[in-house]
Amino acid sequence: MSIPRLFTEADLAEGAEFPAAEGQGAYLAQVLRRRPGDAVRLFNGRDGEWEGRLASLARDRAVLRAERRIAPQRGVPDIALLLAVLKREAMEAAVQAAVELGAARIVPVLAARSVPDRVNVARLSLIAREAAEQCERMEVPEVAAPVPFAAALERWGGAPLILAAERRSAPPLPAAAAGLAPPLGLMVGPEGGFTPAELDAALARPFVVPATLGPRILRARTAVAAGLAVLMAAAGDWNQSQG
């Protein structure tokens, strides 16, 4: 039986007890059929990975207890994803993939062709938490509040921002990323791509690096996975030993 891995906001120390996050109690009781005393693994993005126990469980309420740290805290490279808002299913799939691939934070962007024009940040944050629990990350990346396209460029700090520009003349992503190092970002457009005006506005910024993601036009969620995979291999942590 696999040991559930749970994110908590609480400080982790030997013997510390704290309530499970919303939804975790029901998951442990109703889905996993766990009982008090069963083992769990805990992380909070600050204190490393811990062995723990389910101290108590009553219906959908659980109390967790930390017992022993088993791994020090480790982070991910500062590679952000700026993603044009997609339809719900595609947006959720893209966020899950971004978390698994190691994006440090996710910024939904309201582009001209974004559908819809609203974002359920709470739902996407929950998906990010569950993905981090499953893929053995030691932190949950922030899903920021959505920002308009122009504001996303204005607020970017000046680090290299790779723009997936499929319909513009641009080098392939591996060439564009050569020699870059975090912090950096990847900006992926909506289905149908960014408008010509948006591309012109982005490419006028000195920190924007245009790149193509191969000879085929990708769906947005596929572009997220492909783009982050290349960046993690070229400038991220895919070449680091996990031992």
- What's the gap between Cα 221 and its chain centre? 13
0.85 exceeded by pTM: yes
At 241 the pLDDT is 64
Classify 19 as helix, strand or coil.
strand
Model confidence over 36-45: pLDDT tens digits?
A: 999 999 999 9
Characterize the bridge pairing of strands 61-71 and 49-58.
Answer: antiparallel
- Here the tokens at position 60 are 């959908």
- Here the tokens at position 210 are 């245009």
Match 């723009």 to its residue by tokens.
Answer: 163
Q: Is the domain 79-235 a CATH 3.40.1280.10 member?
A: yes
Asked if residues 91 and 41 have their Cβ atoms less than 8 Å apart, the reply is no
Classify 15 as helix, strand or coil.
coil
Helix residue ranges, H only, 16-146: 24-26, 88-101, 121-135
Q: What does the pLDDT profile of the chain (243 residues) look like in tens digits?
A: 689 999 999 999 999 999 999 899 999 999 999 999 999 999 999 999 999 999 999 888 999 999 999 999 998 999 999 999 999 999 999 999 999 999 999 999 999 999 877 899 999 999 999 999 999 999 999 999 999 999 999 999 999 999 998 766 899 999 999 999 999 999 999 998 999 999 999 999 999 999 999 888 899 999 999 999 999 999 999 887 665
201: Cβ contacts below 8 Å, ≥ 6 apart: 149, 150, 153
Cis peptide before 183 (omega within 30 of 0): yes
Asked if residues 71 and 231 have their Cβ atoms less than 8 Å apart, the reply is no
Helix residue ranges, H only, 6-162: 24-26, 88-101, 121-135, 149-155
CATH superfamily of this structure's domain 5-71: Hypothetical PUA domain-like; domain 1 (2.40.240.20)
At 197 the pLDDT is 95
Residue ranges per structural domain of the chain: 5-71, 79-235
Question: Measured between alpha carbons, how far is 83 from 113 in angstroms, rounded to an integer?
Answer: 12
At 166 the pLDDT is 75
Asked if residues 120 and 169 have their Cβ atoms less than 8 Å apart, the reply is no
Question: Measured between alpha carbons, how far is 109 from 205 in angstroms, rounded to an integer?
Answer: 17
* Cβ density class 68-97: b for 16+ within 10 Å, e for less: ebeeeeeebbebbbbbbbbeeebbbbbbbb
Residue-by-residue DSSP string for 169-199: ---BHHHHHTT--SSEEEEE--TT---HHHH
User: What is the DSSP code (8-state) at residue 112?
Assistant: T
Question: Measured between alpha carbons, how far is 146 from 85 in angstroms, rounded to an integer?
Answer: 8
